[in-house]
Structures are given as structure tokens and as C-alpha cells.
Amino acid sequence: MADALPPPRMVSFRDGYAWRYQEGLIEQALILKLARYISGLRAAHVLLDHGLLQEQGVLQRTLDEIGEDVWFLALAITNGPRTERHDRFLEAFWAEEFDGAKQVVSMRRDTPKRSKIRAHIHNTLLPDNPSRAIENATTISSMYSGYVHAAAVHILEMYGGIPPHFHLDGMRDTPYFADHAYDIWNYYYRGILLAEVTAKAFGAAPVVRELREYGLIFERKSRRHFGAKERAEGVPSPPVE
């Protein structure tokens, strides 16, 4: 999909050069957001492998917001129309902190509020009853914000054991590890959906079909219906292939 767009160009920047998209297309913004989601997902899995669950939670909060950004932008194409709120989002997204030389530009990104982005998504996708989905998304965001802002109850997940102590080198041997391993599946699955909605925005029907088929394979190989019984028995979640 990136190859279908005008590519980034090398431009002069401060004392050197940097890559920049010149056209500022909504499709280019989608590609950048999707690239960051995939990179962030890999980083979250590295943190999980080392038992750094607090930091995994921080990244998952980031992935939630990137995912919402992808849906918000894609819907401007697939379910239109593009609104003033989309224009504000893109203007803030493409804004630069430097003027291309050495001077810092005094600026404040006028990004639409997260609640407005979330409401646009669910009002568009679920016009008959968006409130439940908005409430769920807000609750998840609030829960993971505790990892971002280092709230006391979240940090105390690091404390325990015999004798009780802070697990500063990772939490693989704590009861929380299985929950975080189970949870990361959702972020892989959402990533497939984000790639699919991006392909739909690009009008790339063959890619949409391929991603849907891949999603079914992913569900089958990762045993999507791995349920509460196995979790209660302490069985770790299946690895993501």
C-alpha cells in the first residue's frame, strides 16, 4: 500500500536532511500510523517476553490511540464525508516543531480531543447504539492510563512474592504474567483489522480479501476461543505465530 503512494522525499532539515511526505495525503497518514502500530506491537511483545508488564501496558495504551486514529482517518474515505475535524487532525499530525533550520517553532498541536475522535468512530460504525462501544473504549483507555502515569495501584502489581518485594527485573513469575500474555492477542487481532480497514480506504480489494483470510488463519492457529477455564487452571496463553 505504501508503494501505491507518492513516496517520502529527502529534504533539507536543520544541519542535515530528513524524509518527508510532501503531499500530506490522508492515505500517507494512514500508512505512517499503521507502520507505527506494527512497530509498537513488536515492542510490546518484546516487553512481554521479558516480563516488563508495566511498560507493556504503556505501549498498549499507545496502540489503542493509534488504532483509533487509523479508524478515524479511514472512515473519512470509506464512510465519508471528510469533516473539519479530520482536517484539524491532519494539520496537527503534519505539523513540525522546527522551521527546517535550527529554530524551534512555537506551536501547540490542535489535535481534536480523544473523546471526539472516539465518538466519531462509533457514531459512524454503530449509529443505532454507539454509547456502549464509546463507554467500553473510554474504560479501557482509563485503565491503561494508570500504566502511563504510574498510578499507585498499577505499580503495586510489581509487589509480591515470598518475601514480598518489588519485581524490578520483570514479572514473568507473577500471577499477572498470564493475564498480560492473554491480553496481547487482542492487539495482534486489532492490528489485522487496522490493516484491513486501511486497505479498504485505499480501494485495494485484493488486499482486503487477503487480510480477511489471514485473520481467519490467525484465529485458528492462535486458538481464538482459548477461554476462562484454561486461564483459571493457569495455562499460559498460546504463542502468537
- What is the residue whose three cell numbers read 502515569? 149
Q: Is the CB of residue 78 less than 8 Å from the CB of residue 200? A: yes
Residue of 121, 150, 161 whose CA lies nearest to 138: 121
Torsion of CA 114, 18, 4, 45, to 10 degrees: -60
For position 222, what pLDDT does the model report?
Answer: 84
Residue 168 is classified by DSSP as T
Residue 188: per-residue pLDDT: 95
> Which pLDDT belongs to residue 96?
87
Contacts within 8 Å (CB) and 24+ apart, 214-220: 215/189, 218/188, 218/189, 218/192, 219/189
Domain extents in the chain? 2-80+113-232
With CA atoms as reference, report the closest residue to 34 among 75, 90, 86, 73: 73
What pLDDT is recorded for position 238? Answer: 40
pTM (2 d.p.): 0.87
**DSSP secondary structure string, 206-219?**
HHHHHHHHHHHHHH
Count of other CB atoms within 10 angstroms of residue 14: 12
pLDDT (tens digit, 0 to 9) for every residue of the chain, 241 residues total? 999 999 999 998 878 899 999 999 999 999 999 999 999 999 999 999 999 999 999 999 999 999 999 999 999 999 989 999 999 999 999 998 776 555 555 567 789 999 999 999 999 999 998 999 999 999 999 999 999 999 999 999 999 999 999 999 999 999 999 999 999 999 999 999 999 999 999 999 999 999 999 999 998 888 765 444 444 444 344 444 3
Q: Which of 74, 86, 97, 99 is CA-nearest to residue 12?
A: 99
Q: Are 78 and 202 in contact (CB under 8 A)?
A: no
Average of per-residue pLDDT values in the chain: 89
CB 58 within 8 A of CB 151: no
Q: Is 237 left (phi over 0), alpha (psi -120 to 50) or beta?
A: beta
**Residue 101, pLDDT score:** 55
> Three-state SS for 18?
strand
**147: closest CA among 49, 47, 50?**
47
In contact, 24 and 8? CB cutoff 8 Å? no
Tell me: the pLDDT tens digits for 61-80? 999 999 999 999 999 999 98
pLDDT digits (tens, 9 = 90+) for 209-238: 999 999 999 988 887 654 444 444 443 444
pLDDT at 97: 79
